[in-house]
Structure 1
Amino acid sequence: MNLAVNGLSLTFAVSLVFVALIISFHEKIGLEKDMLISVGRAIVQLIIVGYLLKFIFQINHVWITLAMMLIIIFNAAANARKRASTLRHAFGISLIAILTSTGVTLGLLVLSGAIKFVPSQIIPITGMIASNSMVAIGLSYRSMLTQFKDQRQAVLERLALGASLKQASIAIVRESIKTGMSPTIDSAKTVGLVSLPGMMSGLIFAGVDPVKAIMYQILVTFMLLSATSLGSVIACYLAYHSFYNDREQLIDL
């Protein structure tokens, strides 16, 4: 099956953006500037990445593939760090969490023979894993910041009663991990019933047998569950220490 995307079809797609702009303007939401910037960035970034991936796929070199993977993970960590507000060491924590979750998940997939270590498979899968880990970690950070602020008195009371930093923070850590994983879990619950995921739909559009497309989607679903759980757990258990100073006192937020 051949899909024809031409200038006319892209023009119609752009018209959908204007619908969102009109709604934002009419309802005085104030997102017009952000929408235009995001659309402009998306176009430029996707064009650059498209040509870059075409070049990398043709070369098929291990070190270039690894470099592209690291660039993806680095950018994911930088974006996750933005959700951490003033949290100390947020970039380093995000980088460790995303690198570990992506590396472990990819390693298992390659060792099991589910995917091959070739650019056309490794780079897109890396992007899927890293982006989902990034979102999960960002949500976890936001949850931790909110809870440490709202439950400040309760945490101080636990510390005053002799609790360790982990004992005083564990309830917040667990709730933050749960918050980070919730979107992926909810997506897994409704996959196929509410949504037809992009990978499965793309394979079906390309003419792949729907049963095989579903098998790949099951693989992706399990992969993302694994990655987001690893990323959220690592990030939260490393990040909660940043809410205390060197004297093990809760800092002001």
Structure 2
Amino acid sequence: MPDLFAGVDGIERVLLSIAFILVAAAVSRWQSSDLERDLLIATVRSFVQLIAIGYVLELVFELDNPLFTVVILLVMTVTAGRTTASRARRTPNAQRISLFSIGAGSALTIGLLVVLGVFDFVPHDIIPIGGMVIGNSMTTATLVITRLSNDFYDQRGMIEGKLALGATSRQASLTQFQRTIRSALSPIIDTTKTVGLIKLPGAMTGMILAGASPLEAVQLQIIVMYMLVGAATFTGLIAAWLTYRQFFTPAHQLALG
């Protein structure tokens, strides 16, 4: 297995980049923001986690076993689900909703990419792509679940008024449902609209830094952007539907804990 720190230039760049953390810590101390400890923990954790995943991926790529690829994707999904659930404390069954919506949305997106022949199901393709899809799905699921749940609590009177007038639970919550979906998908849609105009996105930048042709990098970035829009849409709709069902009884009554 190759040494991740082979070459003086590589480790020097990593060490020099710590200067940004030191500057941030100095500013925090100067302004009495008390963020120095959090900065230290975040710096150490990110370093250890990235080095560890680097070695793990080297091993998985060498083995080239689909089973290990699936296991890594499952670990990513479970971690994403737990992270989302930890933020959705007002939502019943948040853990199951998070896991299912992120897992289903990600699996559907990755499955379509493989079936359509956009990517092969090999570790060096699927794991990076899967990480982007699952991470994006996690963000969308968190926005949808927390926003919709908060709306049900904050706008209880409005929803119950519609129910009292004979509306079904779906009709009574349609405004909150639609507003949540729009709010959750707006960031990825805005990013897609402005990609290449405001900044060069991650996949494209990485390929260019690695020496790839800008046109090749653009092709990959287009695929990635469209893929992330699809993943966010799938995950957002699933998460919204499952969250909505937690707050109404079969008799179309609003059920808030």
Q: TM-score if structure 1 supplies the norm length?
A: 0.92
Quote the sequence identity (%). 36
Matched, 1:56 2:60: yes
The residue aligned with 2:78 is: 74
Q: CA deviation at 1:152?
A: 1.5
The residue aligned with 2:211 is: 207
The residue aligned with 2:229 is: 225
The residue aligned with 1:145 is: 149
- Cα distance in 2, alignment partners of residues 248 and 127 from structure 1: 38
Matched, 1:185 2:219: no
1:90-129: CA deviation from partner (whole Å, max 9, x where unpaired): 1111111111111111112112221111001101100000
> What does residue range 57-136 of structure 1 map to in structure 2 within 5 Å?
57-136=61-140
Q: CA deviation at 1:251?
A: 4.0
1:20 to 19, 24, 40: 24
1:163 to 164, 167, 172: 167
Q: TM-score if structure 2 supplies the norm length?
A: 0.91
In structure 2, the CA distance between the partners of 1:5 and 1:242, relative to structure 1 (3 Å rule), is farther
SS of the equivalent of 1:86 reads coil
- Cα distance in 1, alignment partners of residues 247 and 187 from structure 2: 25
- Cα distance in 1, alignment partners of residues 75 and 108 from structure 2: 17
CA RMSD in angstroms comes to 1.9
- Cα distance in 1, alignment partners of residues 250 and 167 from structure 2: 16
1:189-232: CA deviation from partner (whole Å, max 9, x where unpaired): 11101111111111111111111110110000000000001101
- Cα distance in 2, alignment partners of residues 184 and 4 from structure 1: 38
Mapped contact 2:181–2:240 kept (Cα < 8 A) = yes
Mapped contact 1:83–1:139 kept (Cα < 8 A) = no
Deviates more, 1:121-130 or 1:42-51: 42-51
Matched, 1:46 2:50: yes
Q: CA deviation at 1:246?
A: 6.9
- Cα distance in 1, alignment partners of residues 9 and 155 from structure 2: 53
Q: Which runs of 5+ in 2 are unaligned?
A: 1-6
In structure 2, the CA distance between the partners of 1:206 and 1:6, relative to structure 1 (3 Å rule), is closer
The number of residue pairs the alignment matches comes to 251
SS of the equivalent of 1:6 reads helix
Q: Which runs of 5+ in 1 are unaligned?
A: none
The residue aligned with 1:237 is: 241
- Amino acid aligned to 2:157: Q
- Cα distance in 2, alignment partners of residues 21 and 72 from structure 1: 30
1:148-195: CA deviation from partner (whole Å, max 9, x where unpaired): 232111011112112222111121111111111111111111110111
